[in-house]
Chains A and B, each alone.
Chain A
Amino acid sequence: MEPIIHIENIHKHFGMVHALRGVSLDVHKGEVVVIIGPSGSGKSTLLRCINRLEEYDDGEIVVDNIPLDSAQNINTVRREIGMVFQSFNLFTHLTVMENLTLAQRVVRKRQKNESQKIALNLLAKVGISEKAQAYPVQLSGGQQQRVAIARALAMDPKIMLFDEPTSALDPEMIKEVLDVMLALTKEGMTMVVVSHEMGFAHAAANRMILMDEGQIIDEATPEKFFASSNERTKLFLSKVLHM
Protein backbone atom coordinates (compact mmCIF):
# COMPACT_ATOMS: atom_id res chain seq x y z
CA MET A 1 0.00 0.00 0.00
CA GLU A 2 1.14 3.54 -0.78
CA PRO A 3 2.15 5.46 2.33
CA ILE A 4 -0.02 8.52 3.07
CA ILE A 5 3.10 10.46 4.12
CA HIS A 6 6.28 9.75 2.23
CA ILE A 7 9.40 11.53 3.44
CA GLU A 8 12.59 10.88 1.58
CA ASN A 9 16.00 12.01 2.69
CA ILE A 10 15.12 15.57 3.69
CA HIS A 11 17.68 18.06 4.87
CA LYS A 12 17.05 21.34 6.63
CA HIS A 13 19.48 24.06 7.63
CA PHE A 14 18.84 27.08 9.87
CA GLY A 15 21.89 29.14 9.00
CA MET A 16 24.76 27.12 10.42
CA VAL A 17 22.49 24.63 12.20
CA HIS A 18 21.90 21.42 10.27
CA ALA A 19 18.53 20.62 11.88
CA LEU A 20 17.50 17.65 9.71
CA ARG A 21 20.22 15.41 8.29
CA GLY A 22 18.65 13.06 5.79
CA VAL A 23 15.40 11.94 7.41
CA SER A 24 13.30 9.33 5.62
CA LEU A 25 9.98 8.14 6.97
CA ASP A 26 6.84 6.51 5.57
CA VAL A 27 3.58 6.70 7.46
CA HIS A 28 0.65 4.57 6.36
CA LYS A 29 -3.03 5.31 6.59
CA GLY A 30 -4.38 4.78 10.10
CA GLU A 31 -0.95 4.53 11.61
CA VAL A 32 0.04 6.33 14.82
CA VAL A 33 3.69 7.27 14.97
CA VAL A 34 5.14 8.73 18.17
CA ILE A 35 8.42 10.61 17.91
CA ILE A 36 10.64 11.21 20.91
CA GLY A 37 14.10 12.68 21.25
CA PRO A 38 16.15 15.25 23.14
CA SER A 39 15.55 18.99 22.82
CA GLY A 40 16.91 20.36 19.56
CA SER A 41 16.94 16.99 17.83
CA GLY A 42 14.68 18.25 15.04
CA LYS A 43 11.32 16.75 16.00
CA SER A 44 9.36 19.97 15.57
CA THR A 45 11.22 20.82 12.41
CA LEU A 46 10.31 17.44 10.91
CA LEU A 47 6.61 17.90 11.73
CA ARG A 48 6.65 21.44 10.39
CA CYS A 49 8.22 20.25 7.13
CA ILE A 50 5.34 17.82 6.61
CA ASN A 51 2.85 20.68 6.21
CA ARG A 52 5.46 23.08 4.91
CA LEU A 53 5.39 25.56 7.76
CA GLU A 54 9.10 25.08 7.27
CA GLU A 55 10.77 24.83 3.87
CA TYR A 56 13.32 22.09 3.48
CA ASP A 57 16.52 22.38 1.50
CA ASP A 58 16.77 18.94 -0.02
CA GLY A 59 14.77 15.72 -0.33
CA GLU A 60 11.13 15.05 -1.06
CA ILE A 61 7.85 14.91 0.83
CA VAL A 62 4.68 13.50 -0.73
CA VAL A 63 1.41 13.64 1.20
CA ASP A 64 -1.54 11.62 -0.06
CA ASN A 65 0.12 11.41 -3.49
CA ILE A 66 0.54 15.19 -3.66
CA PRO A 67 4.16 16.35 -3.79
CA LEU A 68 4.87 19.49 -1.75
CA ASP A 69 6.19 21.54 -4.62
CA SER A 70 3.84 24.28 -5.82
CA ALA A 71 2.10 26.87 -3.66
CA GLN A 72 -1.23 25.42 -4.75
CA ASN A 73 -0.24 21.90 -3.73
CA ILE A 74 0.99 23.16 -0.39
CA ASN A 75 -2.38 24.72 0.37
CA THR A 76 -4.15 21.55 -0.73
CA VAL A 77 -1.94 19.44 1.50
CA ARG A 78 -2.42 21.78 4.45
CA ARG A 79 -6.15 21.27 4.16
CA GLU A 80 -5.60 17.52 4.53
CA ILE A 81 -3.38 17.90 7.58
CA GLY A 82 -4.44 19.14 10.99
CA MET A 83 -1.75 20.54 13.22
CA VAL A 84 -1.82 20.93 16.99
CA PHE A 85 0.82 23.11 18.62
CA GLN A 86 2.44 23.06 22.02
CA SER A 87 1.19 26.61 22.67
CA PHE A 88 -2.38 25.97 21.34
CA ASN A 89 -2.32 29.05 19.09
CA LEU A 90 -6.04 29.67 19.31
CA PHE A 91 -7.11 32.89 17.62
CA THR A 92 -7.33 35.15 20.65
CA HIS A 93 -9.72 37.70 19.14
CA LEU A 94 -12.34 35.08 18.26
CA THR A 95 -14.71 33.00 20.35
CA VAL A 96 -14.30 29.24 20.54
CA MET A 97 -17.10 28.89 18.00
CA GLU A 98 -15.49 31.40 15.64
CA ASN A 99 -12.15 29.64 16.03
CA LEU A 100 -13.77 26.48 14.76
CA THR A 101 -15.78 28.03 11.93
CA LEU A 102 -13.33 30.56 10.45
CA ALA A 103 -11.28 28.19 8.30
CA GLN A 104 -14.31 26.08 7.44
CA ARG A 105 -15.92 29.13 5.89
CA VAL A 106 -12.83 30.72 4.36
CA VAL A 107 -11.10 27.57 3.13
CA ARG A 108 -13.81 24.93 2.82
CA LYS A 109 -16.41 27.51 1.74
CA ARG A 110 -19.04 26.05 4.04
CA GLN A 111 -22.18 27.98 4.93
CA LYS A 112 -22.35 29.54 8.37
CA ASN A 113 -25.03 27.13 9.61
CA GLU A 114 -23.26 24.05 8.37
CA SER A 115 -19.94 25.13 9.86
CA GLN A 116 -21.57 25.85 13.21
CA LYS A 117 -23.26 22.46 13.26
CA ILE A 118 -19.94 20.75 12.59
CA ALA A 119 -18.27 22.89 15.26
CA LEU A 120 -20.90 22.04 17.88
CA ASN A 121 -20.53 18.33 17.19
CA LEU A 122 -16.79 18.53 17.58
CA LEU A 123 -17.01 20.60 20.75
CA ALA A 124 -19.29 17.94 22.21
CA LYS A 125 -16.79 15.31 21.18
CA VAL A 126 -13.92 17.05 22.99
CA GLY A 127 -16.22 17.79 25.92
CA ILE A 128 -16.52 21.58 25.98
CA SER A 129 -19.85 22.38 24.36
CA GLU A 130 -20.66 24.88 27.10
CA LYS A 131 -17.68 27.07 26.16
CA ALA A 132 -18.72 27.76 22.58
CA GLN A 133 -19.17 31.49 23.18
CA ALA A 134 -16.14 31.93 25.46
CA TYR A 135 -12.88 33.54 24.41
CA PRO A 136 -9.63 31.56 24.59
CA VAL A 137 -8.32 33.61 27.55
CA GLN A 138 -11.30 32.46 29.56
CA LEU A 139 -10.34 28.78 29.18
CA SER A 140 -7.83 26.61 31.00
CA GLY A 141 -4.85 25.26 29.09
CA GLY A 142 -6.40 21.83 28.77
CA GLN A 143 -9.62 23.30 27.44
CA GLN A 144 -7.70 25.48 24.98
CA GLN A 145 -5.80 22.51 23.64
CA ARG A 146 -9.01 20.52 23.21
CA VAL A 147 -10.49 23.45 21.27
CA ALA A 148 -7.35 23.52 19.14
CA ILE A 149 -7.80 19.83 18.35
CA ALA A 150 -11.46 20.40 17.49
CA ARG A 151 -10.48 23.34 15.28
CA ALA A 152 -8.12 21.12 13.31
CA LEU A 153 -10.69 18.32 13.07
CA ALA A 154 -13.31 20.71 11.68
CA MET A 155 -11.37 20.73 8.42
CA ASP A 156 -11.85 16.95 8.04
CA PRO A 157 -8.13 16.23 7.96
CA LYS A 158 -6.79 12.87 6.87
CA ILE A 159 -3.72 13.31 9.03
CA MET A 160 -3.15 14.96 12.40
CA LEU A 161 0.22 16.25 13.55
CA PHE A 162 0.77 16.92 17.25
CA ASP A 163 3.83 18.82 18.46
CA GLU A 164 4.19 18.25 22.21
CA PRO A 165 0.48 18.92 22.76
CA THR A 166 0.63 18.43 26.52
CA SER A 167 4.01 19.81 27.49
CA ALA A 168 2.66 23.31 28.21
CA LEU A 169 -0.10 21.93 30.45
CA ASP A 170 -0.41 21.53 34.18
CA PRO A 171 -0.28 17.84 35.16
CA GLU A 172 -3.96 17.62 36.04
CA MET A 173 -4.94 18.74 32.53
CA ILE A 174 -2.73 16.39 30.57
CA LYS A 175 -5.09 13.46 30.81
CA GLU A 176 -8.10 15.27 29.34
CA VAL A 177 -6.09 16.09 26.23
CA LEU A 178 -4.53 12.64 25.92
CA ASP A 179 -7.99 11.08 26.23
CA VAL A 180 -9.19 13.09 23.25
CA MET A 181 -6.13 11.98 21.29
CA LEU A 182 -6.66 8.35 22.27
CA ALA A 183 -10.25 8.53 21.09
CA LEU A 184 -8.96 9.81 17.75
CA THR A 185 -6.60 6.89 17.33
CA LYS A 186 -9.53 4.52 17.97
CA GLU A 187 -11.32 6.14 15.03
CA GLY A 188 -8.41 5.25 12.80
CA MET A 189 -6.95 8.74 12.36
CA THR A 190 -3.45 8.82 10.94
CA MET A 191 -1.32 10.61 13.52
CA VAL A 192 2.25 11.75 13.94
CA VAL A 193 2.80 12.77 17.53
CA VAL A 194 5.83 14.34 19.15
CA SER A 195 5.36 13.58 22.83
CA HIS A 196 7.20 12.27 25.82
CA GLU A 197 4.03 10.89 27.40
CA MET A 198 5.13 7.27 27.49
CA GLY A 199 1.78 6.02 28.77
CA PHE A 200 0.11 7.47 25.72
CA ALA A 201 2.80 6.08 23.42
CA HIS A 202 2.35 2.65 24.92
CA ALA A 203 -1.41 2.72 24.49
CA ALA A 204 -1.67 4.41 21.11
CA ALA A 205 1.48 4.06 19.02
CA ASN A 206 1.93 1.58 16.22
CA ARG A 207 5.48 2.72 15.87
CA MET A 208 7.96 4.69 17.94
CA ILE A 209 10.84 6.75 16.64
CA LEU A 210 13.85 8.19 18.42
CA MET A 211 15.41 11.25 16.84
CA ASP A 212 18.73 12.77 17.75
CA GLU A 213 20.84 15.41 16.04
CA GLY A 214 18.54 15.63 13.06
CA GLN A 215 18.42 11.92 12.32
CA ILE A 216 16.21 8.93 13.06
CA ILE A 217 18.25 6.76 15.42
CA ASP A 218 15.84 3.98 16.27
CA GLU A 219 12.44 2.89 15.05
CA ALA A 220 10.26 0.01 16.32
CA THR A 221 6.87 -1.06 17.65
CA PRO A 222 6.35 0.10 21.24
CA GLU A 223 6.99 -3.37 22.69
CA LYS A 224 10.30 -3.72 20.88
CA PHE A 225 11.16 -0.07 21.38
CA PHE A 226 10.84 -0.13 25.15
CA ALA A 227 13.03 -3.24 25.19
CA SER A 228 15.44 -1.86 22.61
CA SER A 229 19.07 -2.86 22.72
CA ASN A 230 20.11 0.43 21.13
CA GLU A 231 22.26 2.26 23.69
CA ARG A 232 20.94 5.72 22.84
CA THR A 233 17.33 4.55 23.02
CA LYS A 234 18.00 2.98 26.41
CA LEU A 235 19.72 6.09 27.67
CA PHE A 236 16.98 8.43 26.46
CA LEU A 237 14.15 6.22 27.72
CA SER A 238 15.72 6.05 31.15
CA LYS A 239 15.77 9.86 31.24
CA VAL A 240 12.19 10.24 30.05
CA LEU A 241 10.79 7.54 32.30
CA HIS A 242 12.41 9.09 35.35
CA MET A 243 11.01 12.55 34.69
Chain B
Amino acid sequence: MDGQPKLRPGGSKLTHIPGAGVIARVDPWWGLVILVAVLIVILVTAKADPFRNILLFVRHGIVITVFITAMAFMLTLLLGLIGGLGRLSRNRFIYGVATLYVEIVRGIPLLVQLIWWYFAFPVVIQTVGEWLNFSAMANYHANPIFTAIAAFTICYGAYMSEIYRAGIQSIPKGQMEAARSLGMTHFQSMRHVVLPQAFRVVLPPIGNEFIALLKDSSLVSVVAVADLTRRGREFMAVNFNPIEVWTMVALIYLVMTLFSARGVAWIEKKTHIEK
Protein backbone atom coordinates (compact mmCIF):
# COMPACT_ATOMS: atom_id res chain seq x y z
CA MET B 1 0.00 0.00 0.00
CA ASP B 2 2.64 2.51 1.07
CA GLY B 3 4.93 1.77 -1.86
CA GLN B 4 2.35 2.83 -4.42
CA PRO B 5 2.37 6.37 -5.73
CA LYS B 6 -0.51 8.49 -4.59
CA LEU B 7 -2.68 9.61 -7.45
CA ARG B 8 -3.66 12.87 -5.87
CA PRO B 9 -5.29 15.20 -8.36
CA GLY B 10 -3.43 18.46 -8.27
CA GLY B 11 -0.42 16.90 -6.62
CA SER B 12 2.88 16.29 -8.26
CA LYS B 13 1.64 13.30 -10.24
CA LEU B 14 -0.75 15.36 -12.26
CA THR B 15 -0.04 14.30 -15.77
CA HIS B 16 -2.52 11.44 -16.02
CA ILE B 17 -5.49 13.69 -15.31
CA PRO B 18 -7.36 14.96 -18.34
CA GLY B 19 -6.83 18.67 -18.86
CA ALA B 20 -3.70 18.69 -16.76
CA GLY B 21 -1.64 19.64 -19.81
CA VAL B 22 -2.89 23.18 -19.32
CA ILE B 23 -0.66 23.55 -16.30
CA ALA B 24 2.38 22.19 -18.06
CA ARG B 25 2.09 24.98 -20.64
CA VAL B 26 3.70 28.20 -19.50
CA ASP B 27 1.25 30.89 -18.51
CA PRO B 28 1.86 33.69 -21.08
CA TRP B 29 1.34 36.39 -18.46
CA TRP B 30 4.65 35.46 -16.92
CA GLY B 31 6.00 37.45 -19.86
CA LEU B 32 4.67 40.62 -18.27
CA VAL B 33 6.48 39.91 -15.02
CA ILE B 34 9.71 39.37 -16.92
CA LEU B 35 9.11 42.48 -19.02
CA VAL B 36 8.82 44.71 -15.96
CA ALA B 37 11.83 43.06 -14.34
CA VAL B 38 13.88 43.58 -17.50
CA LEU B 39 12.74 47.20 -17.66
CA ILE B 40 14.07 47.76 -14.16
CA VAL B 41 17.38 46.15 -15.05
CA ILE B 42 17.68 48.26 -18.21
CA LEU B 43 16.97 51.48 -16.32
CA VAL B 44 19.46 50.58 -13.59
CA THR B 45 22.26 49.69 -16.00
CA ALA B 46 21.64 52.21 -18.78
CA LYS B 47 20.99 55.18 -16.52
CA ALA B 48 22.75 54.32 -13.28
CA ASP B 49 22.35 57.90 -12.14
CA PRO B 50 19.76 58.17 -10.70
CA PHE B 51 18.12 54.72 -11.13
CA ARG B 52 20.85 52.60 -9.60
CA ASN B 53 21.16 55.05 -6.72
CA ILE B 54 17.42 54.95 -6.16
CA LEU B 55 17.38 51.16 -6.13
CA LEU B 56 20.27 51.00 -3.66
CA PHE B 57 18.64 53.61 -1.47
CA VAL B 58 15.22 51.92 -1.29
CA ARG B 59 16.69 48.40 -1.07
CA HIS B 60 16.17 48.12 2.66
CA GLY B 61 12.66 49.52 2.25
CA ILE B 62 11.81 46.57 -0.02
CA VAL B 63 12.88 44.20 2.73
CA ILE B 64 10.68 46.05 5.25
CA THR B 65 7.70 46.01 2.88
CA VAL B 66 8.07 42.28 2.23
CA PHE B 67 8.63 41.57 5.92
CA ILE B 68 5.55 43.47 7.08
CA THR B 69 3.42 41.91 4.33
CA ALA B 70 4.60 38.37 5.02
CA MET B 71 4.26 38.61 8.80
CA ALA B 72 0.85 40.27 8.69
CA PHE B 73 -0.34 37.77 6.09
CA MET B 74 0.62 34.74 8.14
CA LEU B 75 -1.00 36.15 11.27
CA THR B 76 -4.04 37.07 9.19
CA LEU B 77 -4.45 33.47 8.07
CA LEU B 78 -4.72 32.44 11.71
CA LEU B 79 -6.90 35.32 12.90
CA GLY B 80 -9.16 34.90 9.87
CA LEU B 81 -9.68 31.24 10.63
CA ILE B 82 -10.60 32.02 14.22
CA GLY B 83 -12.90 34.84 13.10
CA GLY B 84 -14.49 32.71 10.39
CA LEU B 85 -15.22 29.87 12.81
CA GLY B 86 -16.56 32.44 15.25
CA ARG B 87 -18.93 33.80 12.61
CA LEU B 88 -20.28 30.25 12.16
CA SER B 89 -20.47 29.44 15.85
CA ARG B 90 -23.80 28.39 17.30
CA ASN B 91 -22.70 29.96 20.55
CA ARG B 92 -24.45 33.35 20.57
CA PHE B 93 -21.67 35.09 22.46
CA ILE B 94 -18.84 33.88 20.22
CA TYR B 95 -20.89 34.68 17.14
CA GLY B 96 -21.64 38.14 18.52
CA VAL B 97 -18.02 38.98 19.28
CA ALA B 98 -16.83 37.75 15.88
CA THR B 99 -19.54 39.67 14.04
CA LEU B 100 -18.90 42.84 16.00
CA TYR B 101 -15.21 42.60 15.16
CA VAL B 102 -15.84 42.12 11.46
CA GLU B 103 -18.40 44.91 11.25
CA ILE B 104 -16.34 47.47 13.14
CA VAL B 105 -13.12 46.80 11.28
CA ARG B 106 -14.78 46.82 7.88
CA GLY B 107 -16.40 50.14 8.64
CA ILE B 108 -13.19 52.08 9.28
CA PRO B 109 -10.67 53.05 6.59
CA LEU B 110 -7.43 51.14 6.88
CA LEU B 111 -5.39 54.34 7.00
CA VAL B 112 -7.44 55.62 9.93
CA GLN B 113 -7.02 52.30 11.73
CA LEU B 114 -3.29 52.43 11.18
CA ILE B 115 -3.04 55.97 12.52
CA TRP B 116 -5.22 55.06 15.49
CA TRP B 117 -3.05 52.13 16.53
CA TYR B 118 0.09 54.20 16.06
CA PHE B 119 -0.90 57.50 17.66
CA ALA B 120 -3.98 56.88 19.82
CA PHE B 121 -3.46 53.37 21.18
CA PRO B 122 -0.14 54.14 22.95
CA VAL B 123 -1.76 57.07 24.72
CA VAL B 124 -4.54 54.80 25.92
CA ILE B 125 -1.97 52.35 27.27
CA GLN B 126 0.06 55.14 28.91
CA THR B 127 -3.01 56.65 30.56
CA VAL B 128 -4.18 53.32 31.91
CA GLY B 129 -0.60 52.58 33.06
CA GLU B 130 -0.40 55.86 34.97
CA TRP B 131 -3.78 55.24 36.50
CA LEU B 132 -2.72 51.77 37.62
CA ASN B 133 0.70 53.10 38.59
CA PHE B 134 2.30 50.44 36.38
CA SER B 135 5.46 51.85 34.87
CA ALA B 136 5.89 49.33 32.05
CA MET B 137 2.58 50.50 30.63
CA ALA B 138 3.04 54.15 31.50
CA ASN B 139 6.27 54.25 29.50
CA TYR B 140 4.84 52.33 26.54
CA HIS B 141 6.02 53.44 23.14
CA ALA B 142 4.78 51.97 19.91
CA ASN B 143 7.28 49.97 17.90
CA PRO B 144 6.40 51.17 14.39
CA ILE B 145 6.93 47.89 12.57
CA PHE B 146 5.24 45.82 15.23
CA THR B 147 2.32 48.22 15.35
CA ALA B 148 2.01 48.16 11.57
CA ILE B 149 1.95 44.36 11.50
CA ALA B 150 -0.65 44.26 14.27
CA ALA B 151 -2.85 46.87 12.58
CA PHE B 152 -2.77 45.07 9.22
CA THR B 153 -3.45 41.74 10.87
CA ILE B 154 -6.48 43.08 12.70
CA CYS B 155 -7.86 44.78 9.60
CA TYR B 156 -7.20 42.03 7.08
CA GLY B 157 -8.21 39.37 9.61
CA ALA B 158 -11.76 40.71 9.39
CA TYR B 159 -11.90 40.38 5.61
CA MET B 160 -10.22 37.00 5.84
CA SER B 161 -12.85 35.87 8.37
CA GLU B 162 -15.52 36.43 5.77
CA ILE B 163 -13.54 34.52 3.15
CA TYR B 164 -13.12 31.57 5.50
CA ARG B 165 -16.76 31.70 6.50
CA ALA B 166 -17.91 31.60 2.89
CA GLY B 167 -15.44 28.81 2.15
CA ILE B 168 -16.65 26.65 5.01
CA GLN B 169 -20.28 27.30 4.09
CA SER B 170 -19.58 26.25 0.52
CA ILE B 171 -18.78 22.69 1.65
CA PRO B 172 -21.95 20.59 1.33
CA LYS B 173 -23.64 19.77 4.63
CA GLY B 174 -23.47 16.07 3.77
CA GLN B 175 -19.71 16.07 4.37
CA MET B 176 -20.13 17.08 8.00
CA GLU B 177 -23.07 14.70 8.43
CA ALA B 178 -21.14 11.77 7.01
CA ALA B 179 -18.26 12.50 9.37
CA ARG B 180 -20.55 12.86 12.37
CA SER B 181 -22.42 9.67 11.50
CA LEU B 182 -19.08 7.81 11.61
CA GLY B 183 -18.77 8.91 15.23
CA MET B 184 -16.35 11.80 14.74
CA THR B 185 -16.84 14.77 17.02
CA HIS B 186 -17.68 18.21 15.63
CA PHE B 187 -14.06 19.26 16.09
CA GLN B 188 -12.66 16.14 14.42
CA SER B 189 -15.06 16.53 11.51
CA MET B 190 -14.02 20.15 11.04
CA ARG B 191 -10.34 19.37 11.28
CA HIS B 192 -10.23 16.29 9.05
CA VAL B 193 -13.10 16.77 6.62
CA VAL B 194 -14.51 20.29 6.31
CA LEU B 195 -11.48 22.56 6.75
CA PRO B 196 -9.17 20.73 4.31
CA GLN B 197 -11.86 21.07 1.65
CA ALA B 198 -12.70 24.66 2.57
CA PHE B 199 -9.04 25.59 2.43
CA ARG B 200 -8.86 24.67 -1.25
CA VAL B 201 -11.89 26.80 -1.97
CA VAL B 202 -10.45 29.85 -0.25
CA LEU B 203 -6.92 29.62 -1.64
CA PRO B 204 -7.52 31.92 -4.65
CA PRO B 205 -9.34 34.67 -2.71
CA ILE B 206 -6.71 34.43 0.01
CA GLY B 207 -4.06 34.92 -2.65
CA ASN B 208 -5.82 38.07 -3.78
CA GLU B 209 -5.83 39.34 -0.19
CA PHE B 210 -2.10 38.86 -0.14
CA ILE B 211 -1.68 41.11 -3.19
CA ALA B 212 -4.00 43.72 -1.71
CA LEU B 213 -2.04 43.60 1.54
CA LEU B 214 1.23 44.04 -0.32
CA LYS B 215 -0.08 47.22 -1.92
CA ASP B 216 -1.76 48.52 1.22
CA SER B 217 1.50 48.07 3.12
CA SER B 218 2.61 51.34 1.49
CA LEU B 219 0.30 53.10 3.95
CA VAL B 220 2.79 52.43 6.75
CA SER B 221 4.93 55.18 5.27
CA VAL B 222 2.68 57.71 7.04
CA VAL B 223 3.52 56.27 10.46
CA ALA B 224 7.28 56.56 10.02
CA VAL B 225 8.05 53.01 8.98
CA ALA B 226 10.89 53.02 6.46
CA ASP B 227 9.21 50.84 3.88
CA LEU B 228 9.66 51.06 0.13
CA THR B 229 7.32 54.02 -0.26
CA ARG B 230 8.84 55.94 2.64
CA ARG B 231 12.36 55.39 1.34
CA GLY B 232 11.26 56.69 -2.04
CA ARG B 233 9.92 59.82 -0.41
CA GLU B 234 13.17 60.32 1.52
CA PHE B 235 15.25 59.95 -1.62
CA MET B 236 13.10 62.45 -3.46
CA ALA B 237 13.27 64.96 -0.60
CA VAL B 238 17.03 65.14 -1.13
CA ASN B 239 17.32 64.82 -4.89
CA PHE B 240 14.10 66.40 -6.19
CA ASN B 241 13.53 63.97 -9.07
CA PRO B 242 9.92 62.80 -8.67
CA ILE B 243 9.56 61.21 -12.10
CA GLU B 244 12.51 58.86 -11.69
CA VAL B 245 11.88 58.02 -8.04
CA TRP B 246 8.18 57.31 -8.28
CA THR B 247 8.54 55.45 -11.58
CA MET B 248 11.14 53.22 -10.00
CA VAL B 249 9.08 52.65 -6.86
CA ALA B 250 6.00 51.91 -8.95
CA LEU B 251 7.93 49.41 -11.08
CA ILE B 252 9.24 47.62 -7.99
CA TYR B 253 5.72 47.29 -6.56
CA LEU B 254 4.49 46.19 -9.95
CA VAL B 255 7.01 43.42 -10.30
CA MET B 256 6.12 42.12 -6.84
CA THR B 257 2.35 42.23 -7.37
CA LEU B 258 2.48 40.80 -10.88
CA PHE B 259 4.65 37.98 -9.61
CA SER B 260 2.20 37.28 -6.77
CA ALA B 261 -0.72 37.42 -9.18
CA ARG B 262 0.88 34.70 -11.28
CA GLY B 263 1.22 32.60 -8.17
CA VAL B 264 -2.46 33.09 -7.40
CA ALA B 265 -3.44 32.24 -10.96
CA TRP B 266 -1.40 29.07 -10.75
CA ILE B 267 -3.14 28.06 -7.51
CA GLU B 268 -6.51 28.90 -9.05
CA LYS B 269 -5.85 26.64 -12.00
CA LYS B 270 -4.70 23.85 -9.74
CA THR B 271 -7.77 23.94 -7.52
CA HIS B 272 -10.02 24.26 -10.57
CA ILE B 273 -8.74 21.04 -12.09
CA GLU B 274 -9.20 19.22 -8.80
CA LYS B 275 -12.94 19.80 -8.88
> A-side interface residues toward B, CB under 8 Å?
51, 53, 75-76, 78-79, 81-83, 85, 87, 89-93, 95, 97, 102-103, 106-107, 116, 120, 132-135, 137, 148, 151-152, 155
Residues on B with C-beta less than 8 A from A107 are 182-184, 188
Q: In the docked arrangement, what's the CA distance between A152 and B275, Å?
A: 24
B182–A151 touching, CB < 8 Å: yes
Residues on A with C-beta less than 8 A from B178 are 83, 85, 89-91, 148
B193–A135 touching, CB < 8 Å: no
Residues on A with C-beta less than 8 A from B9 are 135, 137
Q: In the docked arrangement, what's the CA distance between A51 and B180, Å?
A: 9
Residues on A with C-beta less than 8 A from B91 are none
Q: Does B196 contact A (CB under 8 A)?
A: yes
CB distance from B58 to the nearest CB of A (A): 43
Among B1, B7, B175, which residue has its beta carbon within 8 angstroms of that of A91?
B175
Q: In the docked arrangement, what's the CA distance between A76 and B182, Å?
A: 10
Among A93, A120, A133, which residue has its beta carbon within 8 angstroms of that of B196?
A93
9 new A-B contacts at CB < 8 Å, known A89-B172, A102-B193: A51-B181, A53-B180, A79-B183, A91-B178, A91-B193, A93-B196, A102-B182, A103-B184, A155-B182
Q: In the docked arrangement, what's the CA distance between A83 and B179, Å?
A: 10
Chain A CB within 10 Å — which of B7, B177, B183, B184 has the most? B183
CB distance from B13 to the nearest CB of A (A): 11
- A85-B177, A89-B177 are known contacts. Are A102 and B192 too (CB-CB below 8 A)? yes
Residues on B with C-beta less than 8 A from A135 are 7-9
In order of increasing CB-CB distance, the 7 nearest A-B pairs are A103-B182, A79-B183, A89-B178, A89-B174, A83-B181, A107-B183, A78-B183
Q: In the docked arrangement, what's the CA distance between A120 and B200, Å?
A: 28
CB distance from A163 to the nearest CB of B (A): 10
Q: In the docked arrangement, what's the CA distance between A51 and B178, Å?
A: 11
- A53-B181, A75-B183, A106-B184 are known contacts. Are A85 and B174 too (CB-CB below 8 A)? yes
Among A92, A102, A116, which residue has its beta carbon within 8 angstroms of that of B1?
A116
Q: In the docked arrangement, what's the CA distance between A8 and B178, Å?
A: 25
List 8 A–B pairs whose Cβ atoms lie within 8 Å, in order of A's numbering: A75-B183, A78-B182, A82-B181, A87-B172, A87-B174, A89-B172, A103-B183, A133-B6
Q: Which chain B residue has the least Cβ–Cβ distance from A120?
A: B1
Q: In the docked arrangement, what's the CA distance between A151 and B58, Å?
A: 59
Q: In the docked arrangement, what's the CA distance between A195 and B200, Å?
A: 35
- A97-B1, A133-B4, A135-B9 are known contacts. Are A81 and B181 too (CB-CB below 8 A)? yes
Residues on A with C-beta less than 8 A from B6 are 95, 133
Chain A CB within 10 Å — which of B1, B6, B8, B175 has the most? B1
A53–B177 touching, CB < 8 Å: yes
Q: Does B185 contact A (CB under 8 A)?
A: yes
Residues on B with C-beta less than 8 A from A137 are 9, 275
CB distance from A148 to the nearest CB of B (A): 8
Q: In the docked arrangement, what's the CA distance between A133 and B174, Å?
A: 22
Q: Does B197 contact A (CB under 8 A)?
A: yes
B177–A93 touching, CB < 8 Å: no
CB distance from A194 to the nearest CB of B (A): 15
Interface residues of B in 143-197 (CB under 8 A from A): 172, 174-175, 177-185, 188, 192-193, 196-197
Residues on A with C-beta less than 8 A from B174 are 85, 87, 89
Q: In the docked arrangement, what's the CA distance between A202 and B233, Å?
A: 84
Q: In the docked arrangement, what's the CA distance between A91 and B195, Å?
A: 12
Residues on A with C-beta less than 8 A from B196 are 93
Q: In the docked arrangement, what's the CA distance between A79 and B184, Å?
A: 8
CB distance from A20 to the nearest CB of B (A): 18
B192–A106 touching, CB < 8 Å: yes
Q: In the docked arrangement, what's the CA distance between A163 and B183, Å?
A: 18
Q: Which chain B residue has the least Cβ–Cβ distance from A83?
A: B181
Q: In the docked arrangement, what's the CA distance between A132 and B1, Å?
A: 9
Residues on B with C-beta less than 8 A from A120 are 1
CB distance from B9 to the nearest CB of A (A): 6
CB distance from B182 to the nearest CB of A (A): 4
CB distance from A55 to the nearest CB of B (A): 12
A78–B197 touching, CB < 8 Å: no
CB distance from B220 to the nearest CB of A (A): 38
Q: Which chain B residue has the least Cβ–Cβ distance from A154?
A: B182
B7–A75 touching, CB < 8 Å: no
Chain A CB within 10 Å — which of B177, B196, B200 has the most? B177
Residues on A with C-beta less than 8 A from B182 are 78-79, 82, 102-103, 107, 151-152, 155
Residues on A with C-beta less than 8 A from B183 are 75-76, 78-79, 103, 107, 155
Residues on B with C-beta less than 8 A from A81 are 181
Residues on A with C-beta less than 8 A from B8 are 95, 135
Q: Which chain B residue has the least Cβ–Cβ distance from A107?
A: B183
